[in-house]
């Protein structure tokens, strides 16, 4: 239940309509509040007669409110059209999975909500205005505040144009997504080693748990599921992690001791959806990688964007240096009660670099940049297994360069970077020279 509640809150937070709807409600409530104040005798006569307060008649008030309402709803349509055009451009150049970065943008939501809220406010005030024939009533304070809202909308429109011009810039998008990556990575880092994953024979007699549902695993309540397993004297090994697809009728978990009600417990602790959800490091990294892969496509051919993405990915790996990643193991006392498959360091590096390297196999500039990033990261790392993962990718880059680059000079440039990586990995010093490696003499 908690997983579904978190799924609901996540969807609500990413929704485009919530903030504009809240501003519309606020505009209506504000109109009723100011109208009530206008009908009371609390406003002094000197304030009503002041030049700062609207003191015209009912006919002028209706005309003014009609202009504010029609202008606000007209510009709101323009704002919506500009937003749709920006979404189309982003989907074509940076990928449809980045659209939620635009739809959840608070600047766009506030702008649209400001105009819709002003429109709703003007309508509510307009319905209360009475001319001399109807029994005169002119809400001076409410009309004055309507003028203030109209002027505020003018400023909001100027802000919106400048904001959208910056948001459709690919460097801005890369920076925003990279902040999501680094935030997601930092959220799972720990200074202490995590619990060790039990060996394979621990699950030798395990019973599979089948799930009839289908969809992407969006939320997982590990604490609740671990507590349930501990209370029933069993251990559960999930076969999927958040972001993986659950196939109907396929095993979703293994249990060391089969306990009735395990299927219901897993259903209560998980929430599935039709799309991969955000919030974890792998999802954010895949978004950033998609920007680079699209930039390297023949239709766009923008290697500079791919190199900018590589810089951000390298920065995220440097954040991990010296810290431990979660193992996905939950314990109660000294007993393992839940194991969730975790991507690990090697998996993160694979997600970051495989697709970019494959798409840039014939692009010397991007391959050189990839080796430069790997060199910078390997100097930050001290763990042997992590250095081996980085070295594996450096070797793949050099193998692709030998196979795909027809220009000997380009191959030599890539090879020099590859030798720099090997030297840095061996010495732990960036820019180290003279360190002989097993690949120092390779036929180019």
- Residue that has been written with the tokens 């697809």 in this structure: 245
Q: Are residues 187 and 88 in the same domain?
A: no
Does 99 score more than 70 pLDDT? no
**Predicted confidence band at 3 (pLDDT cuts at 50, 70, 90)?**
low
Let me know if residue 229 belongs to a domain: no
- Residue that has been written with the tokens 């903030």 in this structure: 19
Let me know if residue 333 belongs to a domain: no
Predicted local distance difference test score (pLDDT) of residue 215: 92
271 three-class SS:
strand
Q: Could you give the number of structural domains in the chain?
A: 2
**Predicted confidence band at 18 (pLDDT cuts at 50, 70, 90)?**
confident
What does the pLDDT average to over 135-147? 85
Q: Are residues 91 and 187 in the same domain?
A: no
Least confident of 65-69, 73-77, 153-157, 433-437: 433-437
Let me know if residue 3 belongs to a domain: no
Let me know if residue 251 belongs to a domain: no
Quote the percentage of the chain above a pLDDT of 70.
88
Q: Are residues 61 and 17 in the same domain?
A: yes
Does 429 score more than 60 pLDDT? yes
Residue 353's Cβ-count burial label (10 Å; 0-12, 13-18, 19+) is: buried
Report yes or no: 138 and 65 within 8 Å, Cβ to Cβ: no
Q: Are residues 145 and 187 in the same domain?
A: no
Q: Are residues 104 and 187 in the same domain?
A: no
Predicted local distance difference test score (pLDDT) of residue 438: 45
> Comparing 336 with 428, which gets the higher pLDDT?
336
What is the distance between the alpha carbons of residues 27 and 25, in angstroms, rounded to a whole number? 5
Q: Are residues 115 and 187 in the same domain?
A: no
Task: Dump pLDDT digits (tens) for 222-233.
Answer: 899 999 999 999
324 three-class SS:
strand
List all residues 6 or more positions away from 82 whose beta carbon is below 8 Å from its beta carbon. 160, 164
Let me know if residue 222 belongs to a domain: no
Predicted local distance difference test score (pLDDT) of residue 123: 93
Report yes or no: 303 and 292 within 8 Å, Cβ to Cβ: no
Task: Dump pLDDT digits (tens) for 238-270.
Answer: 999 888 899 999 999 999 998 899 999 999 999
> Comparing 350 with 38, which gets the higher pLDDT?
350
Tokens matching residue 12:
């609500």
Write the DSSP symbol of residue 414. Answer: H
Q: Are residues 152 and 187 in the same domain?
A: no
Let me know if residue 299 belongs to a domain: yes
Task: Dump pLDDT digits (tens) for 320-366.
Answer: 998 888 888 999 888 899 999 888 899 999 999 999 999 999 999 99
Residue 104's Cβ-count burial label (10 Å; 0-12, 13-18, 19+) is: middle
Tokens matching residue 255:
């249990």
Q: Minimal CA–CA distance to 144: which of 61, 66, 28, 59?
A: 61
Does 439 score more than 50 pLDDT? no
The structure's pTM equals: 0.78
Least confident of 270-274, 307-311, 338-342, 439-443: 439-443
Q: Are residues 133 and 92 in the same domain?
A: yes
First and final C-alpha spacing in the chain: 60
Least confident of 9-23, 87-101, 187-201, 395-409: 87-101
Report yes or no: 406 and 415 within 8 Å, Cβ to Cβ: no
Per the DSSP assignment, residues forming a β-bridge with 238 are 253
Write the DSSP symbol of residue 431. Answer: T
Q: Are residues 31 and 116 in the same domain?
A: yes
Q: Angle at the Cα of 81 (from 75 to 84), degrees rounded to 5? A: 145
Q: Are residues 187 and 71 in the same domain?
A: no
CB atoms within 10 A of CB 354: 13
Let me know if residue 331 belongs to a domain: no
Does 212 score more than 70 pLDDT? yes
Q: Which of 168, 203, 232 represents a domain boundary (last residue)?
A: 168
What is the distance between the alpha carbons of residues 400 and 206, in angstroms, rounded to a whole number? 42
Q: Minimal CA–CA distance to 306: which of 296, 321, 320, 297?
A: 296
Q: Are residues 187 and 155 in the same domain?
A: no
What is the distance between the alpha carbons of residues 233 and 92, in angstroms, rounded to a whole number? 52
Q: Are residues 148 and 47 in the same domain?
A: yes
**Predicted confidence band at 441 (pLDDT cuts at 50, 70, 90)?**
very low
Strands (E), 274-384: 329-332, 335-339
Let me know if residue 240 belongs to a domain: no
Range of the domain at 134: 13-168
Helix 364-380 crosses helix 303-320 at what angle (to 10 degrees)? 10
Report yes or no: 209 and 262 within 8 Å, Cβ to Cβ: yes
């Amino acid at each position: 239940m908690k997983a579904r509640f978190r799924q609901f809150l996540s969807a609500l937070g990413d929704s485009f309509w919530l903030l504009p709807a809240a501003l519309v409600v606020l505009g209506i409530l504000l109109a009723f509040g100011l109208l009530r104040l206008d009908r009371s005798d609390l406003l002094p006569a000197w304030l009503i007669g002041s030049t700062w307060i609207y003191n015209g008649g009912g006919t002028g008030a209706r005309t003014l409110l009609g202009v504010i309402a029609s202008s606000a709803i007209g510009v709101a349509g323009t704002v919506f059209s500009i937003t749709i055009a920006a979404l189309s451009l982003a989907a074509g150049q940076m990928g449809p999975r980045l659209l939620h970065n635009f739809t959840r943008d608070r600047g766009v939501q506030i702008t649209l909500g400001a105009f819709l809220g002003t429109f709703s406010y003007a309508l509510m005030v307009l319905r209360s205005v009475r001319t001399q024939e109807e029994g005169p009533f002119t809400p001076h304070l409410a009309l004055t505040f309507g003028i203030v809202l109209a002027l505020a909308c003018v400023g909001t429109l100027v802000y919106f144009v400048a904001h959208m011009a910056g948001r459709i810039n690919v460097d801005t998008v890369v920076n925003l997504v990279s902040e999501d990556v680094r935030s997601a990575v930092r959220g799972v880092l720990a200074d202490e080693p995590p619990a060790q994953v039990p060996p394979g024979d621990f699950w030798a007699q395990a019973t599979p748990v089948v799930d009839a549902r289908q969809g992407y695993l969006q939320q997982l309540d590990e604490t609740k599921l671990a507590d349930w397993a501990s209370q029933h004297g069993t251990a559960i090994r999930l076969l999927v992690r958040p972001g993986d697809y659950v196939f109907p009728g396929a095993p979703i978990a293994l249990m060391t001791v089969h306990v009735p009600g395990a299927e219901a417990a897993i259903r209560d602790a998980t929430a599935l959806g039709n799309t991969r959800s955000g919030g974890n490091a792998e999802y954010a990294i895949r978004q950033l990688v998609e920007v680079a892969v699209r930039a390297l496509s023949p239709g766009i051919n923008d290697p500079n964007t791919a190199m900018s993405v590589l810089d951000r990915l390298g920065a995220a790996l440097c954040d991990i240096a010296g810290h431990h990643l979660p193992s996905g193991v939950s314990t109660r006392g000294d007993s393992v009660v839940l194991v969730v498959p975790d991507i690990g360091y090697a998996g993160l590096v694979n997600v970051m670099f495989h697709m970019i390297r494959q798409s840039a196999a014939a692009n010397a500039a991007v391959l050189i940049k990839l080796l430069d990033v790997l060199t910078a990261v390997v100097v930050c790392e001290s763990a042997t297994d992590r250095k081996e993962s980085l070295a594996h990718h450096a070797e793949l880059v050099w193998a692709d360069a030998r196979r795909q680059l027809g220009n000997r000079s380009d191959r030599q440039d890539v090879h020099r970077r590859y030798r720099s990586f090997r030297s840095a990995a061996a010495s732990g010093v960036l820019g180290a020279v003279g360190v002989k490696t097993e690949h120092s003499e390779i036929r180019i």
